[in-house]
A and B are shown apart, each in its own frame.
Chain A
Amino acid sequence: MKFTNLIKFLLATLIIFASNNAIAKTIKWSMQGDSLTLDPHAQNEGPTTQVSRQIYEALVTRGLDMSIGPQLATKWKAVDPNTWYFYLRDDVKFSNGQKMTSEDVVFSILRAKQPTSDFKEYISTISSVKAIDDYTVQIKTSKPNPILLNQLSNIFVMSKQWATDNFAIAPQNWDAGQETFSATNAMGTGPFKITLREPNTKTVFKKNGKWWGNVEHNITEIQLLPIKNAATRVAALLSGEIDIVTDAPVQDLARISSSGGHKVESTPQMRTIFLGMDQAADKLRTGNTGDNPFKKKEVRQALYQAIDIEAIKKKVMRGLSEPAGIITFPGVTGYTKALDKRLPYDVDAAKKLLADAGYPDGFDVELRCPNDRYVNDEAICTAVVGMLGKIGVNVSLFAQTKSKHFKELKDNQGDFYMLGWGVPTLDSHYVFHYLYESGASWNKVNFSDSDVDAAIRVMEGEVDLDKRNAAIAKAWKIVRDNIAYLPLHHQVISWASKSNVDVPIRPNNEPLFRFSRVN
C-alpha cells in the first residue's frame, strides 16, 4: 500500500508542476544586440533603454500611441515658467518591497546629472530638484523649458537606498569601461524585474508581483536572448525557439509571414541613419593626403551626391527605408518635407566637385561601421564603399560590434563613421543638442557654428512657439546647407513574432511588455 501511495504522491506532484508550466506564459525575445548596461543612466542607446524600460519607470512616459502620460507622477503643474511641481503616486513600491518616495526621484534626477551619466545633456536645463514632502517634487529649470516632460520621460527612477547599499550612487562610467553592481543588476518599480543577467547571452525578466499598475499583460517571464547572426535569428524564430524578433531582417520578411504560424508587422521607425565626417581634424587619421579633405564643403557634397540612396533602398533595404535629407523624421517638431529632400544622385557632379576641391584623384579614408546595431548596417557601408569608389574615393571598411564602435567614436577615433539617431523627445532640439552643438557629446564630426549654437539656446528657453519654430527652421537650414553630416535614410522596422504572441509595435522600436499578451 505504501508503494502505491508514493506513486500517487509522485503523480500528483507531476500534475501540479505540469499544469503550472502550462499557465506560465513566457516570451522569448531576440534581437541582434544586447543592452549595453543595466545602469539606467549610463548609456543613452536604443536596446539599453528597451531593456531598462521594462524594469524602471519615469515620472511621465509615452504610451502605446507615443503621447506623454502620467507614470510615477499622477499630475504636474508649472507655477511659473521655471518652477514645476510633480505629485507622485503614493502606492508605488520597488520590486524589493520598499516604498518609493520623492527622495528617490530627487536622487535619480541628480544621479542622471552627474558627469558619468549619458543623460546629463537631456536634462541640462534642470537647475535644482527638491522634495517638498514625501510625494511632491519641485523641479526648477534655469530657463523656460518647453520640452521638460519629453526629457523626463527618459529619466528612470531608482531606489536611493538600493543605490547607496550597492555602491551605485554615481552612474557607471561606461566610456571608461567601469564595472559596477548597477551595470549587471537592476531594481526598479516597473512591471518586471530581472532575475538573471548574462550579458550578450541571456537576460531573464520575471513579473514583478509588487507592481502598482493595473496588470494588462499575462506574461510571467520574458527571456531576452540576443542572436547576432540574422539567419540564425530567423531560424530560431521559425523553429519556435524564439517568440518575437524586434529587428527581423528585411530579406526574410516574406519567408516569415508565409510560414503560417508567424506574423510580421512594420512601421516607420523614429531613427535616421547617417554618415559623419570629421571636419575639424587637421589631418585624417586614416587618410593619405596629409590634410583633411572633409574640411571642404565641396568634398562633403561630392560624397553626398555619389551615394545612390535609391539603390540602397531597393537592394539592401528591400524597399523598407525612406531616403532622408535631414537627421530627423516626420512627427518631430521642426520636420518638414522640403528639408527632407535629398540632393540629387549625380556621379559626374560629384567627380567635378572633388576635382574643384583639389582632389581629382580622390583620397583614402576608413569608414567605421557597427555590424550589429542598425538594419543591415554593414551591408549599407559595403554599398557606400563601392559607390564612393566610383568617384575615386578609396574607402576601406572597418565594421565591428556596436559596443566597440560607440566606445571608439566617443574616444574620437573616427574620421568617417556610421551612426543612427532616434529622437525620443520628438523635438528637433534633441538632435541639435547631441549632434550639432559645438562640443556636444555625440558631435564627433566636430561641427561648430555660432548661429546654430544661438538657435539651440532659443529652442531651450523660448516659450513663444512661433519664435521657437523659426529658430529650429533656421538651424536646420544652416546644417543642411553646410552638409554637416551625410543623411542616408529613415529606418523602417519590422517585428516578427509567433501568431499567438501579441506585442504592440511602436515606432521607437521599444516593446512595452506590460501591454503584451500570449494567447
Chain B
Amino acid sequence: MDSKNLTLFNRIKDSDIYFSFIKSPTAVFSTIILIIIFFCSFFVELVTPYNPFDPSSLSLMDAFTPPSWTKDGLAKFILGTDGQGRDMLSTILYGSRISLIVGFSAVIFALILGVGLGLSAGYFGGKYEMIVMRLTDVQLTVPSILMALLVDGIARGIISREMHDEMAIYVLIFAIGISEWPQFARVSRAATLVEKNKDYVSASTIIGVSNIIIMIKHILPNIMRPVLVIGTIGLALAIIAEATLSFLGVGVPPTTPSLGTLIRLGNDFLFSGEWWITFFPAIFLVLLAFSINLLGDWMRDTLNPKLN
C-alpha cells in the first residue's frame, strides 16, 4: 500500500495502536477522563465563574459551606467552600492546572536529561558509560522524594525570600525532574545497546554520518517506545511527588495552591466534620493519577513487542 496517499488521520486509524486502543475499555475510559480533566484545568476560566485567587472576590461569610446536595449546601457552590470562602470546584481546577504544569514540565525535563545521558552512554560506552550508569545507581539509592526535598532546601537557601514564591514552581519542576531522570537513562541506554549493533547503524557509520546525527536521527526514534511508557508512568509519579511536596509545605505557596496544598489546608478540618475541604482535592488527585497509570499500563502492553 502506498502510505503517502493516506491522510494522517487515516494512518492513525489503520494502525495497530488505534486498534488496540479501541479494543481496550480501560484505555478509552481513562483517556476520556484525562481529556475532561485537561480541558477543565486549562480552560478553567471558561468552566467556572469564580477566581479563587482574587482575594477581593471572596466573602468570608461563605466559608465552610457544605456541598450543594447536603442540608446546608448552596447551589452556587457545587462542592462547597473552604475555610476562606473559596469555591472548592474552581479551587480544585485551578490547583490541578498547577499540578499538571509541574508534572508535565518535570517529566519533560527528566526525559531530556535522562534520554540524553542514557543514549550517549549506550552509544559511546567505555568509561563515560560507566560513570553515567554509576551515577544513576547512586541516585536510585536515594528515595526520589528525599532528593526533591534536598533540592528544594538548597534552593530556599540560595534564593531570597522575595523571589522564592515566584521561583517556587521552577524549583519544584527541577527538584522532581532531577529525582526522576535515572529511570529514563537506564531504559534508553538498554534500548540503545540493542539498536547500535543493528545494520542500519553500521551502514550510517560506514557512509560517514556523524555520531550526533546517528544518535538523534536514527537511534532516538527507535528507542522512543519504552521511553514513552516510562514517561507516562513518570507523569503520574511526578504529579504525586508534587502533591507530596506541597502537602509537606515545601511546594508551591498557599496563595496559588496546587492539589497537594489544598489537601494540606483541608487536613486541619478533618475532625471537625468539614470533610469536603480535603476529600474532593484528594479524590481528584487519585482520579488523575489513576487514569494516567491506566493509560500507561495500556501503552506498556501495546508498545512493548516482547509482551506480544
With contacts A386-B56, A386-B58, A389-B56 taken as known, whether A230 is within 8 angstroms of B268 at the C-beta atoms is yes
A389 touches B55 (CB 8 A): yes
Docked pose: A395 CA to B267 CA in angstroms: 25
Judge whether A66 is part of the interface by a CB distance below 8 angstroms: no
Q: A392's closest neighbor in chain B, by CB?
A: B56
Judge whether B271 is part of the interface by a CB distance below 8 angstroms: yes
Q: How far is the CB of A378 from chain B (nearest CB, A)?
A: 9
Judge whether B16 is part of the interface by a CB distance below 8 angstroms: no
Q: How far is the CB of B91 from chain A (nearest CB, A)?
A: 13
Docked pose: A396 CA to B83 CA in angstroms: 18
Judge whether B298 is part of the interface by a CB distance below 8 angstroms: no
Judge whether B269 is part of the interface by a CB distance below 8 angstroms: yes
What residues of chain B lie closer than 8 Å to A235, measured between beta carbons? 271
Of the candidates B85, B254, B270, B271, the one having the most CB atoms from chain A within 10 angstroms of its own CB is B271
What residues of chain A lie closer than 8 Å to B63, measured between beta carbons? 315-316
Q: How many residues of B contact A (CB 8 A)?
A: 23
The listed residue (A231, A252, A315) touching B83 by CB distance below 8 A is A315
Q: How far is the CB of A398 from chain B (nearest CB, A)?
A: 8
What residues of chain A lie closer than 8 Å to B59, measured between beta carbons? 311
Q: A308's closest neighbor in chain B, by CB?
A: B60
Q: How far is the CB of A259 from chain B (nearest CB, A)?
A: 10
Of the candidates A312, A315, A387, the one having the most CB atoms from chain B within 10 angstroms of its own CB is A315
Contacts across chains A and B counted by CB atoms under 8 Å? 68
What residues of chain B lie closer than 8 Å to A395, measured between beta carbons? 55
Judge whether A297 is part of the interface by a CB distance below 8 angstroms: no
B-side interface mostly: loop
Judge whether A295 is part of the interface by a CB distance below 8 angstroms: no
What residues of chain A lie closer than 8 Å to B271, measured between beta carbons? 231, 234-235, 238, 251-252, 255-256
Q: How far is the CB of B64 from chain A (nearest CB, A)?
A: 7
Docked pose: A361 CA to B59 CA in angstroms: 20
With contacts A231-B271, A255-B273 taken as known, whether A315 is within 8 angstroms of B255 at the C-beta atoms is no
Q: How far is the CB of B60 from chain A (nearest CB, A)?
A: 4
What residues of chain A lie closer than 8 Å to B83, measured between beta carbons? 315-316, 379
For this complex, into which size category does the number of interface residues on chain A fall?
20 to 34
Q: B278's closest neighbor in chain A, by CB?
A: A231
Chain B stretch 82-102: residues in CB contact (< 8 A) with chain A: 83-85
What residues of chain A lie closer than 8 Å to B272, measured between beta carbons? 249, 251-252, 254-255
What residues of chain A lie closer than 8 Å to B58, measured between beta carbons? 386, 389
What residues of chain A lie closer than 8 Å to B84, measured between beta carbons? 379, 382-383, 386
With contacts A389-B56, A396-B255 taken as known, whether A314 is within 8 angstroms of B61 at the C-beta atoms is yes
The listed residue (B55, B61, B254, B274) touching A311 by CB distance below 8 A is B61
Docked pose: A60 CA to B61 CA in angstroms: 46
With contacts A231-B267, A252-B271 taken as known, whether A311 is within 8 angstroms of B54 at the C-beta atoms is no
Q: How far is the CB of B283 from chain A (nearest CB, A)?
A: 18
Docked pose: A397 CA to B253 CA in angstroms: 10
B267 touches A316 (CB 8 A): no
Contact bitstring A408-422, B, C-beta under 8 A = 1, else 0: 000000000000000
Binding site for A on B (CB under 8 A): 54-56, 58-61, 63-64, 83-85, 161, 254-255, 267-274
The 3 A-B residue pairs with the shortest CB-CB distance, nearest first, are A389-B55, A389-B56, A251-B272
- Enumerate 7 A-B pairs (CB-CB under 8 Å) in ascending A order: A234-B271, A238-B271, A249-B272, A311-B60, A314-B61, A386-B84, A389-B58
